[in-house]
Structure 1
Amino acid sequence: MKAENLQSERLFYKRVSSEHLTQGYLDWMNDPEVFRYLESGGNYTMQMLKSFIEEQDKKDILFWAISIKETGKHIGNIKIDPINPENNSGEYGIMIGDKTAWGNGFAKEASQTIIKYCFEKHKLSQITLGLIQDNTKALELYKKLGFEIEEVRLNQVSSTNTLRNVIRMVIKNTKLKNKLILGTVQMGLAYGINNALGQVSFENSCAILAKAYEFGIQTLDTAEGYGNAHQVIGNFHILNPTVKFNIITKIPHGSIVENIKNKIKTYISDLQVDFLEVLMFHSFDSYKNNQGIFEGLKTLKKEGVIKNIGVSIYTNEHLEALLLDDSITVVQMPFNLLDNESLRGDLMTKLKAKGKIIHTRSAFLQGLFFKDVSDSNSTVQNLKNELSSLNIIAKEAGISMSNLSLSYCLQQKNIDNVLIGVDSVKQLMENFNALISKIDTETIAKINTIKVDDIDLLNPSLW
């Protein structure tokens, strides 16, 4: 990724290049007041500076020269480099080298502009920085920008070979939080048409949960019917007392609950949480069969024991029925490249008009989209033409099937949260990168032209 030209109220930002090779820039690099807290500086020559700029210009990095709009004067640089693709994190650095520009709030203005750009345009999950502990003015600025201290590294060797304490800080992209929900069925059961590994081990489940929390995923989707998933989550919380996920869990298919308060108490105890984000009925039948517990649910909601009541559904007929029930605030529904906007779009608009929160699942249709169309599996063969069309769309868009599947869901304006399930940390990281990927309206339109006549083929419970 290369830095593109940007501007803010008083400043221009342009990719650093040979046009910025000036005596003024060189003077900054040799001014002890300027490089006092930098990683390099002093004894710079014009040739050294020229080589540095040429080296940076060859890279695909986010590195801008900061100039004042009114005068065009180059006053400093700002960068987000390097960017770690594994956790989608960027490292921040800024230098206001022109001392006549100090004290005017330019560093704050530039930082706000570039951080906002990197979060919104490049969908970075977080931006990190390091600073010398006694750089109190910079520390004050970074705190105002929203950075938080992660750690203090004692006695670090600086560029001048002196020992200094270094503060590491981070600011996280809050707009990425809460969009993805991590499903936990694989942690309690062997699940998925493309799952050859079986149930995820407790050790690997903990690794997935820890990385998800690091990535800003704050909500887990689970259920009483997901084997021992409740206990896995609860034990993770016990082992990681500083980490606490919001939990969506579900009353089993078709069960009739006698004492809802006791059931919720058991859920909360097993999960090691203080409340449930959503208590969901695992099916429309379960919702219909348990109308007698709604007064108890409303009481629990008033008490803060549960925040929302939801229903997991499959059909549009069920969605129509839920439109009429104001006590249901969350609807979980399938939505993906085949179970798409042409099937669900109108009803999602109606649900949002009623103030419902929409969670979608089956973004990858249990891994069906990753199966080879020559696979002998009957579902694959029945959907062979549709899957072939999706492969062509992904190829034309220059995007992986994983990113196409997830980006299509994430870009739907009426979808509040997208539920994903993974079998490994690697899968989680690959899926998280879909937050960066964008598909254009032409690609979305092509996807929406695909219509499956036999909609039972889109329901994994019928496979």
Structure 2
Amino acid sequence: MELCLGTVQFGMDYGIKGQKQPSVEQAVDMLDYATQNGINTIDTANAYGSAEDVVGAFLEKKTIARDKLFIVSKFRPNLLDDVGQDKYYEIMRNNLENTLSRLHTAYLDSYLLHSARYIFDDEIIDTLNRLKADGLAERVGVSVYEPEEAKKCIERPNVDFMQLPYSIFDQRMEKAGVFEYAKNNNIQIHSRSAFIQGLILMEEDEIPPFLSKAKPIVRKISLLCNRHGISRIALAMNYVKQQSRISHLVFGVDNIEQLRENIKLFEEDISVAVVDDIAKEFRNIEADIVMPSLWKK
């Protein structure tokens, strides 16, 4: 498994604490540092504020050859909700061309639908593959949220990439058999939300009122990590690292110190037995805690 640098923080204020986005110069420095330290995969999206422009500023510097990088971006959500099928190609092509222009690149290594429900629409998936045939994306897929969406991705022969949420707090995909289902399918899987926007790493008294239900869970993981003498970041990463079907762990950072620490901790191996033992304590966390889209702020 490898790391993939997510860039939502580079384009907008993001996270439970509403962390402020870094300057363009700071974000480009982080992209430089990441690519000089073994991370060659970058995840962004048309809906992440100015994130694509930031990645584009980095690519324009040409500190690393484009063919050494794997760039993922996503079709802006909901754009096809109120239009006829005859407009799908025009709208999707225009959005992808906007992304390529902002990124200063001629193609994407993977282009994903950001509205997961679109995976059930044959016409949208066929149109996505037209863009692939046009040479604008090497792979196409979907950023999913629910196990049913993930299984539909696996079933489709013309979807070859999927991004999904997976963490020690959010074990829904594993429990639903998604990874086992994907075993004999040639689909690349990236996981996101290993830290659930920083929730796993927070102190109990930092948790905002709208997530008060998470306090005993955060208290428990803090106690368990202290008992075993391990950091919560290393535990969160090691949990994801154990899933062999996932090729990349997508993570985001607010500053270069975080980036350095995460790269270092990713290399730290924790006993599988310890990780499994701790993970059992978090098998049945409610969806409205682990899915930020359900948070009632």
Same fold (TM over 0.5): yes
**1:383–1:376 distance in 2 versus 1, CA, 3 Å:** closer
Amino acid at match of 1:322: C
Distance 2:64 2:36 in 1: 12
Q: CA offsets per residue over residues 332-369 of structure 1, 9 Å max, x none? A: 11111111278547211112322221110001100001
Shift of the 182–453 alpha-carbon distance from structure 1 to 2, 3 Å rule, reads: closer
Q: Residue 253 of structure 1 aligns with which residue?
A: 77
Which residue pairs with 2:193 in the alignment? 362
Paired position in structure 1 for 2:6: 183
C-alpha spacing 1:458/1:302, structure 2 compared with 1 (3 Å): same
* Residue equivalent to 1:193: 16
1:344–1:220 CA distance, 2 compared to 1 (3 A): farther
Residue ranges of structure 1 left out of the alignment (5+ in a row): 1-175
- Matched letter for residue 73 of structure 2: T
2:11 and 2:48 in contact (8 A); partners too:
yes
Structure 2 Cα separation of the partners of residues 242 and 360 of structure 1: 25
Find the residue that maps to 2:206 and give its secondary structure.
Answer: coil
The residue that corresponds to 1:444 in the other structure is 275
Residue in structure 2 matching 1:226, options 48, 51, 63? 48
Across the two proteins, how many residue pairs are aligned to each other? 284
1-structure distance, mates of 2:12, 2:176: 32
Q: Does 1:461 align with 2:285?
A: no
| Contact map agreement 1:182 1:421 (CA 8 A) in 2 | yes
1:306 lines up with 2:137 in the alignment: yes
Distance 1:301 1:253 in 2: 19
**Which residue number corresponds to residue 217 of structure 1?**
39
Which deviations, in whole Å up to 9, do the C-alpha atoms of 1:177-224 show, x marking residues without a partner? xx111111111110001343x111101001100001001211111111
Greater relative contact order structure (CA < 8 Å, 6+ sep): 2
SS of alignment partner, residue 235 of structure 2 = helix
Q: Distance in 2 between matches of 1:462 and 1:254?
A: 17
- For residues 246 and 269 of structure 1, what CA distance do their matches in structure 2 show? 17
* Aligned partners of 2:190 and 2:250 also within 8 Å: yes
The reply to whether residue 378 of structure 1 matches residue 209 of structure 2 is yes
- Correspondent of 2:105 among 259, 273, 277: 273
Task: Give the conservation status (yes or no) of the 8 Å contact 1:188–1:229.
Answer: yes
Distance 1:394 1:249 in 2: 35
Given that residues 342 and 448 in structure 1 are in contact (C-alpha distance below 8 angstroms), is that contact kept between their aligned partners in structure 2? no
Query: One-letter code of the match for 1:181?
Result: C
Match of 1:399, SS? coil
Percentage identity across paired residues of the two chains: 29
Give me the TM-score of the superposition, normalised by structure 1: 0.58
Q: Which residue of 2 aligns with 1:205?
A: 27
Q: Does the Cα contact within 8 Å between 2:166 and 2:173 map onto a contact in 1?
A: no
Cα contact 1:403–1:433 (8 A) shared by 2 = no
- 2:258 is aligned with 1:434: no
Q: Matches of 1:250 and 1:342 in 2, distance apart?
A: 21
Q: Distance in 1 between matches of 2:138 and 2:278?
A: 35
Structure 1 residue 266: deviation in Å? Answer: 2.3
Equivalent residue number for residue 83 of structure 2: none
Other structure's SS at 2:26 match: helix
Q: Tell me, which stretches of 5 or more residues in structure 2 are unaligned?
A: 81-87
TM-score (norm 2): 0.88
What displacement does 1:410 show?
2.0
Output the CA distance in 2 between the equivalents of 1:246 and 1:273.
12
**Structure showing the higher helix proportion among its residues:** 2
Name the one with the larger strand percent: 1
Q: CA RMSD in A?
A: 2.1
**1:106-135: per-residue Cα shift (whole Å, max 9, x none)?**
xxxxxxxxxxxxxxxxxxxxxxxxxxxxxx
